[in-house]
Structure formats: structure tokens, C-alpha cells
Amino acid sequence: MNAFVEPATMPGSGVAKGEVLLSVANVSLAFGGVKAITNISFDIRKGEIRAIIGPNGAGKTSMLNVINGFYHPQEGTITWRGKARRKMKPYEAASHGIARTFQNVALFKGMTTLDNIMTGRGLSMKKNFLWQCLHWGPALKEEIDHRHRVEEIIDFLEIQAIRKTPVGRLPYGLQKRVELARALAMEPELLLLDEPMAGMNLEEKEDMSRFILDVNQQFGTTIALIEHDMGVVMDLSDRVVVLDYGRKIADGMPEDVQKNQDVIDAYLGVPHEE
């Protein structure tokens, strides 16, 4: 089922594979006197898996929040698909193809799995209010068309059995998977994953890693992920950027970053000698 399929059309065409999809230039973000991010620049290329790592409080999540418009940086520019911008509302970022998941699961707890994922399709549903009142004819057809797309994602992530379960009742690992499904339902060009494997056991981590790779390969989605499990980061990612105290201390291939002395000092550390 998960056979490798070369994506015929990359979502959000316009940027070819391997070119810069998003670049962040000299971005600084401060909350009052607290500098969360200081003068950071890096880029994300189309089709890659980009990891952002660093110790707690390094500004990783703030960086994601800047990218999808939740925080507005005081300085610097963000170039998305070749267009520079400084400010953007979150729903604009969403409609331009940036989706994300959250560190602490942010699902809609009172709704079923199906409804949660359907909510992710909201942006591409166009029928107006009066059609919604009727729920018939074109509105029903639209609803069912989108249901088909959602069912594809449900199949892809193997969550068929919990379709009608309110997500509040699901175990943590599955909630994380539903959250990924909801982000995928938006058919994003760039997917931001904030610690997708936090608090998971080994088996769940393996599943999630496989899903991330499959999403990247089958849908051609560009992925930026924050993760603390170094094994996962080194295996999954194409390039890694390392932050510490709001500054960038390294950027490059996983193996290079692993050997970088600054990164070892700030974050990775060394194995204890026996």
C-alpha cells in the first residue's frame, strides 16, 4: 500500500524540487527584553526534510511560530515561494500551503477523528452559507468529495478504526497521528512538525518516522521538524540547523553537524567514558 510513487504533481507548483522554498533572513524576535531569536538566517529547500534542533528554550518553536505567522518578528524577512514578507496572519500562511502540528497535541477534543481531519479541508471548501444550510446538491457533493480525500489520508495513516471516535478518548500516540492527518488534509507544501515523537514509545516512534518519510516521498511535501531524539533526526533529515539561546550555531548535513564542536558543547554532549 505504501509503495513508492513518484508524485506526478507536487502540491503548490511553482517551485521546483531542490530549489529554495522558504528562506529566513536575519530574523530577530523579542518579547519585551527577552530575545527569543537573534539574527537567524537559514533556508528550506523544496522536497527536503529539514530538522531544527537545540536545547530547551533555544527558540525552535518560536522559529516555527514565526514561519507560520503566529509571531511577527521585529526584524528580518521571510521569503516564501520567492516572495518576501514580514508579517502574515496565521490563516494566510495556512491558505498559502503551510501546515503544522504542535508540541502538545492541539486537537479539537470534542470532535471525532473524521471531523478533525475534515476541518483541515475547510480552506478548500467553497460552498457558501446558504448551500450549507441546505446540505444538499452541490454542498453535499462537495462534502462527499472532501470526505473521499480525507478517507485517503485515513487509509494512509492507518487510522480507519478510530474514524468516529471523539479524539479526547484516544491514546496519546494516536492523537499525534490524527494531528498529522489533520495537517496533511490541508495538502500543504510545507509541513512544520513540532516534536512529532515527543513522549512516544519506540514502536510508535518507528511508525511515525515511517509516516514522515512516506509523506515526504509520496506527497512530495517539504518537511521542517523539531525533534529531540537524535537517532531520529540523523536518520530522517537531509539537513539540520542547530539553535542555542536564540542564535544559530550550526547548519549543514547531519553528519557534519554531529561532529561540530559547538553543537557538542551546547547540546549533544559526549558519551560517558567507562
Partner 1 sequence: MLYREAGQFKTTYDADQAIFPIAQDRWAVIAFAAIAFLVVPFFVNDYWTNAVLLPLLIYGLAALGLNILVGYCGQISLGTGGFMAVGAFASYKLMTSFPELNIAIVVLLSGGATALVGVMFGLPSLRIKGFYLAVATLAAQFFLVWLFNKFGWFYNYSATGQISVPERTIFGLVVTGPTAAPWVKYLFCLSFLALFGLIAKNVVRGRIGRNWMAIRDMDIAAELIGVRPLQTKLSAFAFSSFYVGMAGSLLFTVYLGAVEVTEVFGINVSFLVLFMVIIGGLGSILGSFLGATFLVLMPIFLKNFMVDGLGLLPVLAKHVEILLMGLLIMGFLIVEPHGLARMWQILKEKFRLWPFPY
* Site of interaction with partner 1 (CB under 8 A): 68, 70, 90-91, 93-95, 99-100, 102, 106-111, 115, 118-120, 122-123, 125, 127, 129, 132-135, 139-140, 143-144, 147-148, 151, 182-183, 186
Nearer to partner 1 by C-beta: 112 or 222?
A: 112
Are 121 and 211 in contact, with CB atoms under 8 Å apart?
A: no
Q: How far is the CB of 166 from partner 1 (least distance, A)?
A: 10
Nearer to partner 1 by C-beta: 17 or 109?
A: 109
Radius of gyration of the chain (CA): 19
Nearer to partner 1 by C-beta: 102 or 245?
A: 102
Q: How far is the CB of 163 from partner 1 (least distance, A)?
A: 9
Q: How far is the CB of 213 from partner 1 (least distance, A)?
A: 23
Question: From residue 123, how far is each of 78, 94, 97, 187, 209 by CA, in Å?
Answer: 23, 8, 10, 10, 27
The three-class DSSP label of residue 49 is strand
Are 37 and 59 in contact, with CB atoms under 8 Å apart?
A: yes
Q: ∠ CA(213), CA(214), CA(217), 5° rounding?
A: 85
Q: How far is the CB of 94 from partner 1 (least distance, A)?
A: 3
Q: How far apart are CA 159 and CA 109, in angstroms?
A: 17
Nearer to partner 1 by C-beta: 18 or 138?
A: 138
Nearer to partner 1 by C-beta: 172 or 201?
A: 172
